[in-house]
Structure 1
Amino acid sequence: MASEAERETRLRQLLTFGRKVLPGVLLAVALAAAAKALQAGLGWPSMLLALGLGMLLVRASAKDRLTQPGVEFASKKILRFGVALLGARITLEEIVSLGLTPILVTVAAVVGTILIGSWLGKRLGFAKSFGTLTAGATAICGASAALALSSVLPKHKNHERDTIFAVIGVTTLSTVAMITYPFLTAGLGFDDRAAGLLIGGTIHDVAQVVGAGYAVSSEAGDVATFSKLLRVALLVPAVLAVAWVYRMELRAEGGKAQLPLPGFLFGFVALVALNSADLIPEPLRLVLVELSGWCLVAAVAALGMKTSVTALRQVGGRAIALLVAQTLLILGIVLALLMVLV
């Protein structure tokens, strides 16, 4: 057991760390609160608003030694904590209740989009990690997946710029899809179940899936939401697989495999298991889901404070074309599978 002196030392270290990061964390949370307030008034995605607010402060925060440590902490640690809490949204019972066909469609769409989308990135001249980042964000759960994948991809000088671009891109395209896909399902003559599968299997972010699904009908909304949560559940194997692939590549190149095993995913799995076993009281589960949203929005605001508009412009039109192509890719895969299986 630790001695009294050791405990006092640890407590002092904790208090020192807390004082160091608190100003920046509070700034990120304040921006998150402002983004959520603007979302209520404007109806725009809170993550996109938080990014914009953060980027307005990029110059001031970069030079402010008081807030810089907390901004760094929020963009990494709070981000991972928020991703872990996403597990409180999902139960295995909900996934199984979808039946075999939706599971096959979803898994095939996610795997196909990541593999083909990454290949498209290489064909357009991007680094492999950038193609993986955008394809994974498109395939799984939009901004949340972009943030989770970014944490295990190799770090480079444009790493944060690429992450912000992926978040902005998938959030924007997700909003476009939310508006247009209900009309697409109607034009194709899909029933409510097929419409829900298409919407849940293709739109990037959870909020936009819910909006589009229930715009069709209650049944389509339910199916779309469950299908989307299955894609969220695939975040765990996808991130583990990406981390493993890049770790093996580092070893093959003779370097040290310094990509850490993403511990936050174990928290995600643990929460899914506890939620599936009905061991999380409903009031607590709702708090965890809400806290997850706050953590992710605050983390995005912090990322925005570290990324300049000038840096984003350097990504170029090819990157936009790649994200659009990956979005159309997952739509095409799901449509083809639904035509055959449903």
Structure 2
Amino acid sequence: MSPDTFRPATLRQTFDRVFPGLAVAALVAICAQFLADHYGAPAMLMAILLGIALHFLSEEGRSAEGIEIAAKKVLRIGVALLGVRISVDLLVELGPAFVGLTILGVAATIGMALLVAPLFGRRSRFAFLTGGSVAICGASAAMAIAAVLPKSERSEQDLVFTVVGVTVLSTVAMIVYPMIAAAAGFDPTVTGVFLGGTIHDVAQVVGAGYSVSDETGDVATLVKLIRVSLLAPVVLIAAMILRAKGATGAERPPLLPGFVIGFLILATLNSLHLIPEIVRDVVNDVSRWALLTAIAAVGMKTSIPQLLLVGRTAILMLVAETVFLGALVLTGAALLT
């Protein structure tokens, strides 16, 4: 970076170019959170839908550059800060059997997505994006995985489709899965394992778990955070595979992306109890707002006509991945009880 970058005049010019787009994305995020707080709508889904309605802002005018930065740089910051949610204590509390089931669910779902992708006429990149989002943590995982995948003309449309799809399916699961667990006769702990191991987004896991009982909610949240902790190794493995396949130039991801390093550092510090609770809460809030702002920006960069080109097979593939994960964890939980 040139020393001229830090001159006051240059900083002012950069601020003038970037601020309008960042401000618009942040405003959309605030509106989405307002709708979520007052009407119970998923904040991520509201952010991306509101963003799509403002697509024209990303194509011309003063806001384009700031929206681009929000969709990429702010996204990576939000994913990195997710590390404050993770600690080794989570694994110890749950026990090896249920931890193993959780890890198996993540690995098997991603593997299944890659295996069946040709049957749906989809490439492995799309399969990894959707499979990883279903297996790990919904919209957050989709954005983290998209950050290391080589870019194409359909990258942003695929990401928006995945975020919208997993959010809708996660909301449906929040309502249906507790009924399935009750019909299976699961106790509160096993119900929590099932809900936390299958529902895509953290917010819906919390909603489903605590709608059953406090004990179920605690276990469901714990299992979900273990799934979130697998985000870093999955992204790292993806980056290594892409490098091995010879991605070059701008498409070649770093061996260990910077946001993954940040995620791992924060997770390590949290495991060592070196992050005060008040700091952890603040960082967690910053992460949530950064991700919400980033997905609003991604929505603004997406046009509806291009989004509709994803097609029916993509929807069927996402549903198939969701059903596979649900069936696998349901069966495993039943066998372990």
Q: Which residue of 2 aligns with 1:69?
A: 65
Deviation of the 1:9 alpha carbon: 5.3
Separation in 1, partners of 2:215, 2:57? 48
Q: Which residue of 2 aligns with 1:277?
A: 272
Query: Is the aligned partner of 1:23 residue 2:17?
Result: no
Query: Is the aligned partner of 1:168 residue 2:164?
Result: yes
Deviation of the 1:341 alpha carbon: 2.2
Deviation track 1:97-144 (CA, whole Å, cap 9, x = no partner) reads: 111111100110000000111212222111110011000000000000
8 Å CA contact 1:80–1:264 kept in 2: the answer is: yes
Separation in 1, partners of 2:12, 2:228? 36
Separation in 1, partners of 2:241, 2:15? 36
Q: Which residue of 2 aligns with 1:84?
A: 80
**Aligned pair in 2 of structure 1 residues 183, 23: CA closer, same or farther (>3 Å)?**
same
Deviation of the 1:7 alpha carbon: 6.0
Q: Which residue of 2 aligns with 1:325?
A: 320
The equivalent position to 1:258 in structure 2, one of 242, 252, 256, is 252
8 Å CA contact 2:165–2:318 kept in 1: the answer is: yes
1:193 counterpart SS class: helix
1:159 partner letter: S
8 Å CA contact 1:28–1:298 kept in 2: the answer is: yes
Within 5 Å, which residues of 2 pair with 1:222-233? 222-233=218-229
1:280 counterpart SS class: coil
Separation in 1, partners of 2:128, 2:65? 29
Deviation of the 1:247 alpha carbon: 1.7
1:156 partner letter: S
Q: Which residue of 2 aligns with 1:117?
A: 113
8 Å CA contact 2:58–2:64 kept in 1: the answer is: yes
Separation in 2, partners of 1:59, 1:334? 43
1:60 partner letter: L
Q: Which residue of 1 aligns with 2:334?
A: 339
Query: Is the aligned partner of 1:187 residue 2:187?
Result: no
The equivalent position to 1:205 in structure 2, one of 201, 205, 222, is 201
The equivalent position to 1:53 in structure 2, one of 50, 53, 59, is 50
Q: Which runs of 4+ in 1 moved over 6 A?
A: none
Deviation track 1:23-68 (CA, whole Å, cap 9, x = no partner) reads: 100110000000001111110110100111111110233122x100
Q: Which residue of 2 aligns with 1:299?
A: 294
TM-score computed with the length of structure 1 as normaliser:
0.94
8 Å CA contact 1:84–1:265 kept in 2: the answer is: yes
Deviation of the 1:8 alpha carbon: 6.7
2:153 counterpart SS class: coil
8 Å CA contact 1:87–1:272 kept in 2: the answer is: yes
The equivalent position to 2:95 in structure 1, one of 81, 96, 99, is 99
Q: Which residue of 2 aligns with 1:151?
A: 147
Deviation track 1:58-100 (CA, whole Å, cap 9, x = no partner) reads: 0233122x10000000000000000011111122112221111
Separation in 2, partners of 1:78, 1:9? 20
Residue segments in structure 2 that go unaligned for 5+ positions in a row? none
Separation in 2, partners of 1:166, 1:22? 28
The equivalent position to 1:309 in structure 2, one of 300, 304, 308, is 304
TM-score computed with the length of structure 2 as normaliser:
0.95
Deviation of the 1:282 alpha carbon: 1.4
Separation in 2, partners of 1:94, 1:131? 29
1:72 partner letter: E
Deviation of the 1:285 alpha carbon: 1.0
8 Å CA contact 2:188–2:213 kept in 1: the answer is: yes
Q: Which residue of 2 aligns with 1:127?
A: 123
Q: Which residue of 2 aligns with 1:3?
A: none
2:142 partner letter: A
1:87 partner letter: G
Q: Which residue of 1 aligns with 2:237?
A: 241
Separation in 2, partners of 1:297, 1:8? 32
Separation in 1, partners of 2:259, 2:212? 35
8 Å CA contact 1:62–1:305 kept in 2: the answer is: no
Q: Which residue of 2 aligns with 1:43?
A: 40
